[in-house]
Amino acid sequence: MPDERNNAVSLIDPALAERVISRALENGGDFAEVFCEERSGFSLSIDESRVERAQRGAERGAGVRVVSGDTTYFSHVDGLAEPDLLRAAEAAAAALSGERAEPRALATAEAPELQEVEVAPEVVPAERKAELLRELDERARAAGDEVAQAQGSYAEGRRRVQVASSEGVHATDDRTRVRLGAQVVARRGDVVETGFETLGAHRGFELLENGAVELGAQAAESALTLLGADPAPAGSMPVVVGKGFGGVLFHEMTGHGLESDAVQKGASVYAGKVGERVAAEHLVAYDDGRLPGAWGTGAIDDEGAPSQKTAVIEGGKVTSYLYDVVRARKDGAESTANGRRESFRHLPIPRMTNTYIAPEDAGPDDLISEVERGFYAVSFAGGQVDPATGDFVFGVSEGYMIEGGKVTKPCRGATLIGNCLDALAGIDAVANDFEMKTGFCGKDGQRVPVGTGQGHVRIGELTVGGTAVG
């Protein structure tokens, strides 16, 4: 099995891909593409100490699109047989009439640079995965008498894709991802708190073999700590954002605003800001689709462009937006390999891969010791940003007060509220303890895996909205 991954495995014959592209352009259009995919997955969970929800799924199909000027026509089908593909091509072409581009001959698909997968998850017996969840459950329940509930989830997925276009692009990828999650509820009298933790990567089952079940204990620890929490304060103060999952703040408040579709529609506060100073001079940030083993990594994007590392902020200035093919054409730019899609049933749109603020020299304690009174947001339950206005709100799932340069008591019910540009400009320190975490990002009804991460980051001033309202 592993050997197969080292080669460019075509899902369909290149000659068939050329016939499909040619059929798609029959009624006109200046660009056509066929995206083929074979996907499979398995997931399992544990709840009330019982292994349940064992699920398996497999799908194969293709999406065909034709672009004519600023309009995209798209159709998708289940199945990869020639009649299926030609039917999709005809449906995509149905509404077109006009000049047609002459498709270029397809390049020979090169062997993709695949991520290392030592143990293909599909060859690991399902019983081993159930065992993993039982161990995780045990660790969580052993963490303390106040642990009331523990839930765990395991998921694996494999996507094999092949992209061919009228511009001669022909590329393949084979992506394997595994992920383990733990959620623990702790209870003391009427007080109920939740802790969660995840571990995932674009890797094989080996990721979970050594100590991953400790996630259960870690999630329990968060929940137990929060039992002693006071209501969060309300007001403006310095905020230190945690490493790893804290990076979701940057993902939401800056990453989305740099996606070129929002920029081109004037729906981003970062529109017209390339070359402009938006952050402190020391700040550097990347979108990196090549980061080894990371959750949002791939050999190519879903339009066949080789993945790349794009500096989006350098010297505190915006240096690049994130482009797919269609938006790059519009701006006369090159794709930055950010054309991603949930599956063959979706059109590619500009999406982040792994987005992060680059680590600097300070240690995490240095960031905290300089704060007289502030808030420490370790992780977020989620958040929302309106890219057009830049206003954001984040729910803090684990947070603490900082008093006299030290982390003191835990706080519950905090939210961070602010505006992207102000908060980004307010970042005055970044620590060296860089860590990447897994996430799923939703946009236009499409959910894709993304990596978020950072070292600890400090924002000089931000509004903390707590339940302690006087």
Closer to another protein by Cβ: residue 115 or 379? 379
Among the listed residues 11, 22, 135, 194, the single contact to another protein using CB under 8 A: 194
Structure tokens given for 124: 């690991």
Q: Greatest CA span in the chain, whole angstroms?
A: 72
Q: Are strands 457-465 and 415-419 parallel, antiparallel or unpaired?
A: antiparallel
Q: Per rule CB under 8 A, is residue 408 in the interface with another protein?
A: no
Is 447 in a helix, a strand, or coil? strand
Taking CB under 8 A as the criterion, the residue among 375, 380, 400, 434 binding another protein is 380
Instruction: Output 51 or 178, the one with its CB closest to another protein.
Output: 51
CB contact at 8 A, 177 and 449: yes
Q: Please name the amino acid found at residue 92.
A: A
Q: Is 101 in the site for another protein (CB under 8 A)?
A: no
From the list 112-120, 211-219, 383-391, 433-441, the region that binds another protein by CB under 8 A is: 383-391
Nearest distance, CB of residue 126 and another protein, angstroms = 4
Q: Smaller CB distance to another protein: residue 334 or 444? A: 444
Binding residue for another protein, selected from 1, 3, 15, 70, defined by CB under 8 A = 70
Give the residue among 383, 381, 462, 380 at the shortest CA–CA distance from 422.
Answer: 462
Among 20, 34, 36, 77, binds another protein (CB under 8 A): 77
Question: According to the binding rule CB under 8 A, does residue 111 interact with another protein?
Answer: no
Segment 412 to 431, residues that bind another protein, using CB under 8 A: 412-415, 417-419
367 or 377: CB nearest another protein: 377
DSSP alpha helices (H): ranges in 94-170?
126-142
> Of residues 27, 75, 166, 338, which one binds another protein by CB under 8 A?
75
Rule CB under 8 A: say whether 14 interacts with another protein.
no
Q: Give the nearer residue to another protein in terms of CB position, either 360 or 461.
A: 461
49 versus 432: smaller Cβ distance to another protein: 49
Q: In the numeric block, which tokens belong to residue 221?
A: 């620890």
Strands 309-314 and 373-385: unpaired
What is the nearest approach in angstroms of another protein to the Cβ of residue 365? 28
Q: How would you classify residue 423: left for phi > 0, otherwise alpha for psi between -120 and 50, otherwise beta? A: alpha
Please give the residues from 119 up to 158 whose contact with another protein meets the rule CB under 8 A: 126-127, 129-130, 148-149
Q: Does 28 bind another protein (CB under 8 A)?
A: no
Closest CA to 464 of 384, 381, 351, 376: 376
Which of 35, 74, 321, 323 touches another protein by CB under 8 A?
Answer: 74
Q: Identify the CA nearest to 377 among candidates 454, 300, 273.
A: 454
Which of 362, 388, 407, 425 is the binder for another protein (CB under 8 A)? 388
Helices 126-142/215-227 angle, 10° precision? 30
Per-residue contact string for residues 343-362; x = within reach of another protein by CB under 8 A:
--x-x---------------
* 382 belongs to the binding site for another protein (CB under 8 A): yes
Least spacing, CB of residue 104 vs another protein, in Å: 24
Q: What is the DSSP string of 251-309?
A: IIIIIHHHBHHHHHTT--TTTT-BTSB-S-TT--EEEETTSTT-TT--SB-TTSPBP-E
* In the block, residue with structure tokens 């803090």: 396
Q: Smallest gap, in angstroms, from Cβ of residue 291 to another protein?
A: 26
Residue 39: which residues within 8 A CB-CB, separation 6 or more? 58, 59, 60, 157, 158, 159, 160, 343
Q: Could you tell me the smallest distance in angstroms from the CB atom of residue 55 to another protein? A: 4
Find the shortest distance in angstroms from Cβ 372 to another protein.
21
Q: Closest CB to another protein among 99 and 361?
A: 99
Among 2, 4, 7, 50, contact with another protein (rule: CB under 8 A): 50
3-state secondary structure (DSSP) of residue 457: strand
Q: Is 225 in the site for another protein (CB under 8 A)?
A: no
Please give the size of the binding site for another protein, defined by CB under 8 A: 76
Beta-sheet pairing, 147-165 with 285-288: unpaired
Question: Contact, 115 vs 293, CB < 8 A?
Answer: yes
